[in-house]
Amino acid sequence: MGIAESTPDELPSDAEEQLRNGEQQLELSGRRLRRLPSAVCALSRLQKLYVSGTGLRELPEEIEELRELRILALDFNKLERLPDGLCRLPRLTRLYLGSNRLPALPADFAQLQSLRCLWIEGNFLRRFPRPLLRLVALQSLQMGDNRLRALPAELPRMTGLRGLWLYGNRFEEFPPALLRMGRLHILDLDRNRLGGFPDLHPLRALRVFSYDHNPVTGPPRVADTVFLVGEGAVERMAERDEPTPRPPPRRPARAFDDEEEDLLIGGGSSRALGPPVDSLCALEAAPGLGT
């Protein structure tokens, strides 16, 4: 049986049934959609919209009519640009853009001041998108498998950031700006080209540091409370006087629960994570860790 395909401007036949339960959630993932049906943008009360893996190539400007939208999943599509209208969703807290073809983000992306979780892994980013520097409420930023070589000196402006995933990029030196990210809990630099690390003790809140698959000869200097993933990590942690911290989950499935906001700042639980890890729960998303 093939994947269902809707006419371009109509809602799928099961949309009314999906919305009938009062959750204001629409699941379109896995259908063939080159563009989002215009009728979707008329659902002004919609709060969760999942359009993953549909072959989507473009989004209409009218998406800005979804003023109540909290969660938007657009991953595993063929998007090469985002419309400015997407940047005018005042309640959006979680946005999933992974595995598209995005080389940049629009300048107006900085208007998404409610955004707390952004996944933009597996795109074509060569430079860190500067609009992100103005998203001070952002807590979880997934930028793995892009083409980044450097980070802006202004990165510490992102005072809310707790988890940063940069695995699979092209860093040859440890970005100096990271040493001023004293509130980071999780930092993932797997699969880069790093030959060494500075002393990471300035990262006082750090709980997990992953550096596997880099041309380094040993682990960095970190506080004894940091769980390490990489060459020599097991040996280093075994030498500590303190008990070895519990490991983070290995690539948990993405969760779309409302509980995710609690997980970003500690506490709560998620069906995708299983038992929580301390109070952080690995910020709900720990892609790249332990790979």
What CATH code is assigned to 12-128? 3.80.10.10
7 SS3 class: coil
pLDDT digits (tens, 9 = 90+) for 64-117: 999 999 999 999 999 999 999 999 999 999 999 999 999 999 999 999 999 999
Structure tokens at 149: 């070589």
Is the pLDDT at 274 greater than 70? The verdict is: no
Is the pLDDT at 244 greater than 90? The verdict is: no
What global pTM score does this model have? Answer: 0.83
Query: What pLDDT is recorded for position 11?
Result: 74
Structure tokens at 180: 């001023």
Structure tokens at 235: 């040996």
Q: What does the longest C-alpha to C-alpha distance in the chain come to?
A: 64
- Give the pLDDT band of residue 253 (cuts 50, 70, 90): very low
Query: What pLDDT is recorded for position 248?
Result: 57
Domain ranges of the chain: 12-128, 148-241
Query: What pLDDT is recorded for position 242?
Result: 61
94 SS3 class: strand
Assess whether the region 12-128 and the region 148-241 belong to the same CATH fold. Answer: yes
- Give the pLDDT band of residue 251 (cuts 50, 70, 90): very low
Distance CA 127, CA 226 (A): 29
140 SS3 class: strand
Residue with the larger pLDDT of the pair 13 and 252: 13
CB 95 within 8 A of CB 116: no
CATH class of 148-241: alpha beta
